[in-house]
Amino acid sequence: METTFVMLKPGVLQRRIAGEVLNRFEKKGLKVVALKLTRMSLEMVEAHYAEHKGRDFYNKLLEYTLSGPVIAMILEGEDAIAVVRRIVGPTNLLEAPAGTIRGDYAARTRLNIVHASDSPASAARETALFFRPDEICPWKDGNAEWF
Ligand code: CMP
């Protein structure tokens, strides 16, 4: 089993599609083991997106991420990082197929609806940025064999 970090960006609440987006992950059989609605501080956004500092879209990305609350979550499942990335779709929206979250809900790469960790190292780093250990709630999965 693996866990991954996912963040629904501020436009998701604005558009009232948080339930629809979360449903994509649940339908696949991923387990929600942590979930919070929160407003990121500038320091958190800078840490979260540190690898993009200096890119031409960086300032706009910060501005958008700070524009309202985000929904942060930890999802658990077999190969959760790769599975979630496939459900989310590619960062470049021209490559995001219909049926993926980004392909279905986003028209601009910068406003791509959702962030998902791309490796075990980033999942660990991003999880620690958003959640204290006591905010993570493991639970026994009585349905695992059906997914
Ligand atoms: P995310 O998965 O949150 O990780 C970095 C974010 O930067 C990405 O989603 C997009 O919101 C944004 N981003 C990445 N590449 C570009 C780009 N070429 N143009 C605009 N925004 C981008």
What CATH number is given to the structural domain containing 36? 3.30.70.141
Q: Where residue 62 falls among pLDDT bands split at 50, 70, 90?
A: very high
Query: Quick one: which atom of ligand 1 is closest to the CA of 118?
Result: 2
97 occurs within a structural domain:
yes
| In-domain check, residue 62 | yes
- Residue 21 domain-assigned? yes
72 part of a folded domain? yes
pTM: 0.96
Total domains in the chain come to 1
pLDDT tops 90 at residue 132:
yes
DSSP conformation letters of 58-124: HHHHHHHHTSS-EEEEEEEETTHHHHHHHHH--SSGGG--BTBHHHHH-SSGGG-SEEE--SHHHHH
Residue 20 located in a structural domain: yes
- Tell the residue nearest (CA) to atom 22 of ligand 1: 110
Segments forming the whole domain that contains residue 85: 16-115
